[in-house]
Structures are given as C-alpha cells and as structure tokens.
Amino acid sequence: MPHAPLPTRRSLLASGTTWMALAGTSGWLSPAMAQTALRPTPKQTEGPFYPIALPRDHDFDLLRNGSATYSKGQIAWVEGQVTDTHGAPVSGAVVEIWQCDHEGNYHHPRDGGKADPAFQGFGKVMVGKDGRYRFRTMKPQPYTGRTPHIHVKVILDRKELLTTQLYVAGDPGNDRDSLWRRLDMQERAALTRVFAPSAEGVRADFPIVVQA
C-alpha cells in the first residue's frame, strides 16, 4: 500500500495548522520560528491633515501650545510601549500623534485654519530603551463623518514603520465609521482602547507593535 504523501509546510499552513502544532509534530521549525510572534499594529490611512510643517511646539503635551493652555474637552493620557513582533522595545522610535480640536478642526490649511490656537494638535516623542511613550492630550472628539480618533505615526531612522488611528472603546460612533467598520475583530481590539478614569482625566494604554 503506497504511503500517503507527507504534507508540505505550505499545505499545513493553508489548512490552518498553527505554528505551535507544526513545531510540536514535525520538528521542522527552529525555536525562534515556533515562538508566537506578536501581530503588528494594523495600519490605517494617514488622512488629509498630517502637518505640512511641524508646529514650533510639538512636545508630548498637546494641551499647552507655547504659552497658551487648552482647557476644552476631557484631559486624556495616551501611553504605551513600542515593541517589535518579538516584544522587544524599539529604542529610538519616534511616535507622533495628531488630532482635531474640541470643535473638530485640524491645524491644517485644508481644514480651513479654524483650529483653536491654544490646542497644540500635534505631538512627537522619541522613546528610550524601554520603548515607552506618553502624551497628554484631549480625549478625541468626533467631526462630520468620523468617529473620535487620534492619528498615530511611528518612525525609526526616518523610515515610516506605521501610520494608523486610535479609537475610543464603546464610542457609539464607531459602528457608523467606515474606516473602523472595515477592521476585523483583532484589528478593532488593537486600535480601539478603553479611556479609563485616571489621576488626571482619563488614560488609554495603546501598545504599538511594529516590524522594525
């Protein structure tokens, strides 16, 4: 009786066989390959309002622009760690965020130049050895056609590793947002975070996984 052909790695993957199952039954995979890799944070469109030129004040605190203080909306801390798919911190990664003000206006000529000058609107930080970042900003607000979101970009050595958007868990606008709706369940979980009460306002933990 002829032997059944051995399955190829490709056929096993196509049949949905997991890496762990492969490693356990075949011994084909090195320990490094068998490790469960973290899924990279999903990408989303940059949108039309990335700054043309960086504002003079572009530090981690979007609620202070130069000498002005922005006090509209709810204070929100957005923080997390930038890691690669093996969980190692990506030292030197630059994290940028940008978002509209309380009235839904971006600091961008294409958005009419109506944004509140007290709102910094854009912030940029470089992470250290621990990969951690944090921003102090406003809990994002909706504007026409969009559920609340914060735009996020990660750059390493001038190379863009990720452009995406962060959403607010439980916001009723998410279900109506075309960009949010096209995310699958895992992608929604990665990009839609709880803004929980904290010592100052609310706080969202947003871990970022990149392919560095």
Give the residues lining the site for Fe ion (CB under 5 A).
47
Residue number closest to Fe ion, CB atom = 47
**Least distance to Fe ion, CB of residue 92, Å:** 27
CB of 88 to Fe ion, least distance (A): 31
Compute the least distance from the CB of residue 146 to Fe ion, in Å. 6
Q: Which residue number, 47 or 92, has a Cβ lying nearer to Fe ion? A: 47
Decide if 37 contacts 85 (C-beta within 8 A).
yes
Nearer to Fe ion, 70 or 167 (CB): 167
Smallest distance, Fe ion to C-beta of residue 129, A: 32
Structure tokens at 172: 């009723």
Shortest distance, CB of residue 98 to Fe ion, whole angstroms?
A: 8
Nearer to Fe ion, 90 or 166 (CB): 166
In the complex with Fe ion, which residue's Cβ is closer, 81 or 192? 192
Smallest separation, CB 100 to Fe ion (Å): 6
Nearer to Fe ion, 133 or 180 (CB): 180
Q: Distance between CA atoms of 86 and 102, rounded to whole angstroms?
A: 38
| Rounded distance between C-alpha atoms, residue 21 and residue 173, angstroms | 40
Q: What is the DSSP letter of 205?
A: E
SS3 172: coil
Strand blocks (E) in the chain: 64-65, 68-69, 75-83, 94-98, 122-126, 132-138, 149-156, 159-168, 192-193, 196-197, 202-205, 208-209
85 versus 163: smaller Cβ distance to Fe ion: 163
